[in-house]
Amino acid sequence: MALKTRFTELCGIEHPIVQGGMMWVGRAELAAAVSNAGGLGILTALTQPTPDDLRREIDRCRAMTDKPFGVNLTILPSVNPPPYAEYRQAIIDSGVKIVETAGHKPQEHVDDFKAHGIIVVHKCTAVRHALSAERMGVDAISIDGFECAGHPGEDDIPGLILIPAAADKLSIPMIASGGFGDGRGLAAALALGAEGINMGTRFCATVEAPIHQNVKQFLVDNDERGTNLIFRKFKNTGRVAKNSVSDEVVEISLREGSVFPDIQPLVSGAKGRVALETGDLDAGLIWAGQIQGLIHDIPTCQHLITRIVDDATAIIQNRLAGLVTPELAPVG
């Protein structure tokens, strides 16, 4: 059973379900498993230490699936930025057909990808940014609500408002991100005007996710309250799982006069990688969304995607359709 949307047709996939590009997690084994299950798997470019390593990871993914998959390239302002243009060239040289862009001023990258016939899906957190990306020439938008893991922006707009608000103004396909993990969410996203869903945290709790079992079980055990919002003070809000590290980051940030260097040692990406790979849940930040409250098992990607699509289809065909009753003809 499949749900056909403009997004599935654009990307040549069976199901309107995308695996988010996640640092340290978006590797070949997960992306290939999602794509083989009919969704769209995504490699995370900057997880690879060099552009040549990314080339090898793309080759590794291609050896594991003959289905479409994409690469995420997130552009962040930095004092010492990675060689974005070289990562971009590695993606182009490797013949990747779909790219997810995110972050700061992607125009240069979008232009180059489009010049090489690559489908560009831009991830953003506000309607105004989505419209800017549409004008920039991207093919689709991934709109990220306040429930999401990672950086939800500073507007604090949840998906129930953000998705239809974006759908009202965009003409290109849009997928919904942030707070999705089951068939109810997929059906709701479609009803709100999206053409599919993007899931990050939910795919972390799968058999194929290349992270420690302790972290997967941690996501299952948490509930919807199990996140902290960090970096609020510094206008770079991030949503992460609640653990001793993120609790300390919040506590320090609330102190009068605190500055970013006060928390910098706690929030390094290297420490987060240690947590994911060793299963030490207090080694660093673990990025996770409020969808934790709806994660109750650790299935294969195939089982998860099949279940989500089947459940969404049943909701649409049976429960929702059953609520509609024919209007009775007036008597007399």
Q: Is 192 helix (H, G, I), strand (E, B) or coil?
A: helix
Reported as a single tens digit per residue, the pLDDT across 21-34 is 999 999 999 999 99
DSSP 303-318: HHHHHHHHHHHHIIII
CA distances from 330 to 267, 298, 324, 327 (A): 67, 54, 18, 9
Please report how the helices 51-64 and 84-93 are oriented relative to each other, as an axis angle in degrees rounded to 10. Answer: 30
Reported as a single tens digit per residue, the pLDDT across 125-160 is 999 999 999 999 999 999 999 999 999 999 999 999
Tell the burial category of 10 from Cβ atoms under 10 Å away from its Cβ (0-12, 13-18, 19+). middle
pLDDT cut 70: percent of the chain above it: 99
**Cβ atoms of 125 and 143 closer than 8 Å:** yes
DSSP 42-61: EEEGGGSSSHHHHHHHHHHH
Q: What letter does residue 150 receive in the DSSP assignment? A: B
Closest CA to 104 of 77, 132, 65: 77
Q: And the tokens for 226?
A: 């199990």
Closest CA to 175 of 205, 201, 145: 145
CA atoms lying within 13 Å on the CB side of residue 140: 27
- The pLDDT, as a whole number, for residue 332 is 64
Q: Which architecture does CATH list for 6-212+296-318? A: Alpha-Beta Barrel (3.20)
| CATH 3.20.20.70 location in the chain | 6-212+296-318
What torsion do the CA atoms of 113, 118, 122, 127 make, to the nearest 10 degrees?
100
- The pLDDT, as a whole number, for residue 327 is 78
Q: And the tokens for 49?
A: 């230490």
Q: Average model confidence (pLDDT) for the chain?
A: 96
pTM of the model: 0.96
- CA–CA distance, 218 with 286 (Å, rounded to integer): 10
- The pLDDT, as a whole number, for residue 330 is 75
- CA–CA distance, 320 with 302 (Å, rounded to integer): 26
HEC-encoded secondary structure of 231-277: CHHHCCCEEEECCHHHHHHHHHHHCCCCCHHHHHHHCCHHHHHHHHH
Query: Which residue stretches of the chain have pLDDT < 70?
Result: 329, 332
- The pLDDT, as a whole number, for residue 44 is 98
- CA–CA distance, 201 with 227 (Å, rounded to integer): 12
Please report how the helices 159-169 and 183-192 are oriented relative to each other, as an axis angle in degrees rounded to 10. Answer: 40
- The pLDDT, as a whole number, for residue 105 is 87
- CA–CA distance, 47 with 50 (Å, rounded to integer): 9
**Partners of 40 in beta bridges:** 18
Q: Regarding beta strands 197-199 and 17-19, do their DSSP bridges make them parallel or antiparallel, or are they unpaired?
A: parallel
Q: Is 63 helix (H, G, I), strand (E, B) or coil?
A: helix
Reported as a single tens digit per residue, the pLDDT across 71-113 is 999 998 777 899 999 999 999 999 999 999 999 889 999 999 9
**Partners of 150 in beta bridges:** 239
Q: What residue has token string 């969404």?
A: 312
- CA–CA distance, 163 with 3 (Å, rounded to integer): 19
**Partners of 238 in beta bridges:** 230
